[in-house]
Amino acid sequence: MAWNHRYTQTPPTEERIHVERVPVEGLTCPNCGSDDIRRYPIANHLGPRIATTCQKCLTSLKVERATEADNWPPFRSVTYDWPASPGERAARDALLRELSDNS
């Protein structure tokens, strides 16, 4: 897929837009023991991410940056994969330190 395909999409034809939660094989929830684990895109305060979550108890097993193969977000900036600027890295590191101190 070329970079410009993310900018030349047609409007959706469905009345409601939905996200497919793809089953993940081989994982078990450490909280409830369920094997109904799904992977799907989310909008996160740190930017677009892919979440892996137990569907029974909603325990979040993993939240990771989306890859190009995930096609998330659908209108991803061409600079999305560029390294963060020094100011952005400092702010992100401070936020992550604060979050880890509060847990």
Q: Which of 30, 18, 17, 23 is nearest to 61 (CA)?
A: 30
Provide mean pLDDT across the span 33-45: 94
Token match 């897929």: residue?
Answer: 1
**Is residue 27 situated within a structural domain?**
yes
**Is residue 95 situated within a structural domain?**
no
Provide mean pLDDT across the span 49-71: 92
Q: How confident is the model at residue 3 (pLDDT cuts 50, 70, 90)?
A: low
**Is residue 61 situated within a structural domain?**
yes
**Is residue 85 situated within a structural domain?**
no
**Is residue 63 situated within a structural domain?**
yes
Please tell me the total count of domains within the chain: 1
Sheet containing 60-65: order of strands: 22-23, 37-44, 47-54, 60-65
**30 contacts: CB under 8 Å, gap ≥ 6:** 59, 61
Task: Check residue 27 and give its pLDDT.
Answer: 95
Give me the helices (H) in 28-102, please. 86-102
Token readout for 77 is: 């900036």
**43 contacts: CB under 8 Å, gap ≥ 6:** 49, 73
Provide mean pLDDT across the span 44-51: 87
Per-residue pLDDT tens over the stretch 17-30 = 888 999 999 999 99
**Is residue 47 situated within a structural domain?**
yes
**Is residue 102 situated within a structural domain?**
no
pTM of the model: 0.64
Task: Check residue 53 and give its pLDDT.
Answer: 97
CA distances to 9, 70, 76 from 59, in Å: 34, 22, 27
Q: Tell me the residue range of the domain where 38 lies.
A: 16-68
* pLDDT at residue 11 tops 90: no
